[in-house]
Amino acid sequence: MTRVALLFATGTEECEALNVADILRRAGMDLSIVSISGDKKVTGSHDITIIADELIEDHDFSKDDVLVIPGGMPGTKNMDGHELVQKAIKELYDSNRYVCAICAAPTILGKGGYLKDKNACVYPGNEDKLIGAKVNFEPVNRDGNVITSRGLGTAISFALEIISALQGSEKAAEMAAKIVFNA
């Protein structure tokens, strides 16, 4: 079974995180919502509080196939400055597992040098922070083991691309039909 760690910080865009979590779980993936905030109870960027499955300090990233980093402010800034987030990104990226970021979160990958010569997109106005990337304005990009997406309006497409990468395009199409997604 595909294992996914989805990070959640104080100030994360709730819908980017929860839409993706919901769709990936519907696809049968073993997804853990991982709080980086020192408490399982975390409040997102629009004052919606969720209860994470576990804390980042307790999560074993060596067992994950995918790391998902939602955006939002100040969630993205909180993740960018977090040592264990940086360690998890490096671990998954270096072992050719998927690192996926949406909205402003691809800027973390740009800053870390993970987008060099890769097609990538980001929330409008942050393109200059995708250091080394071949920036475009597609809703979602998959290049190697990195998937990026532009924001809340592309969250479903982002989740379906993750499914396509790990379970194939037929499974992604099946999930799109089940959720009545029409892009």
pLDDT digits (tens, 9 = 90+) for 69-104: 999 999 999 999 999 999 999 999 999 999 999 999
pTM for the full model?
A: 0.97
Distance separating alpha carbons of residues 152 and 161, to the nearest angstrom: 15
CB 73 within 8 A of CB 45: yes
Q: Is the residue at 140 inside a domain? A: yes
Q: Per-residue pLDDT for 182 more than 90?
A: no
103 is catalytic: yes
Q: Is the residue at 25 inside a domain? A: yes
Q: Is the dihedral angle over the CA atoms 72, 155, 5, 99 positive or is it negative?
A: negative
pLDDT digits (tens, 9 = 90+) for 112-165: 999 999 999 999 999 999 999 999 999 999 999 999 999 999 999 999 999 999
Q: Is the residue at 183 inside a domain? A: no
Q: The domain that contains 52 carries what CATH number?
A: 3.40.50.880
Distance separating alpha carbons of residues 182 and 157, to the nearest angstrom: 10
pLDDT digits (tens, 9 = 90+) for 37-63: 999 999 999 999 999 999 999 999 999
Q: Per-residue pLDDT for 183 more than 80?
A: no
> Measuring CA to CA, which residue among 30, 34, 32 is closest to residue 12?
34
Quick one: tokens of 59?
């999560």
What's the total number of domains in the chain?
1
Range of the domain at 23: 3-178
**Long-range contacts from 119-124, C-beta under 8 angstroms, 24+ separation:** 119/143, 120/146, 120/148, 121/148, 121/149, 121/150, 122/148, 122/150, 123/71, 123/150, 123/151, 124/150, 124/151
Rounded to an integer, the average pLDDT of 14-37 is 98
Instruction: Give me the catalytic one of 15, 100, 103, 121.
Output: 103
- Residue that has been written with the tokens 């993205």 in this structure: 76
